[in-house]
């Protein structure tokens, strides 16, 4: 059984909360945030087509770079990548849900 659109958006909301916490603590290397991010990734994979899965992977890389950033330049670059990947993933999820609803 495929998860519902509500379940997808609930998980996406939880991911957003974790990503907001990561963005608020650049350079912290917070292990609990890293673990939360990994849990979300495992949960979200069941919802994804191959393209969205790659974007999710890129999003996780950007979030990890934010946590590990050592200076302001690295933080700024990682934050830009993180925001770009967040917007792209959100758009891909919405498209995927719309296609599933139309089917």
What confidence score (pLDDT) does residue 3 get? 65
| pLDDT for position 98 | 80
Pick out the chain residues at pLDDT < 70: 1-3, 103
What's the burial of 20, exposed, middle or buried (CB within 10 Å: 0-12/13-18/19+)? exposed
- Global pTM reads 0.84
Q: CB–CB of 43/51 below 8 Å?
A: no
Residue 70: how many CB atoms within 10 A of its CB? 10
What structural domains does the chain harbor? Answer: 5-102 (1.20.5)
Task: For residue 3, give Cα distances in angstroms to 7, 33, 47, 50, 87.
Answer: 6, 25, 7, 17, 22
């Amino acid at each position: 059984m495929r998860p519902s659109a509500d379940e997808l958006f609930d998980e996406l909301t939880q991911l957003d909360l974790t990503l907001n916490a990561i963005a608020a603590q650049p350079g912290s290397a917070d292990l609990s945030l890293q673990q939360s991010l990994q849990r979300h990734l495992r949960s979200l994979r069941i919802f994804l087509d191959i393209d969205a899965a790659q974007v999710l992977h890129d999003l996780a890389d950007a979030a990890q770079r934010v946590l590990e950033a050592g200076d302001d330049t690295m933080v700024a670059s990682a934050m830009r990548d993180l925001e770009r990947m967040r917007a792209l993933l959100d758009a891909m999820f919405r498209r995927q849900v719309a296609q599933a609803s139309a089917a």
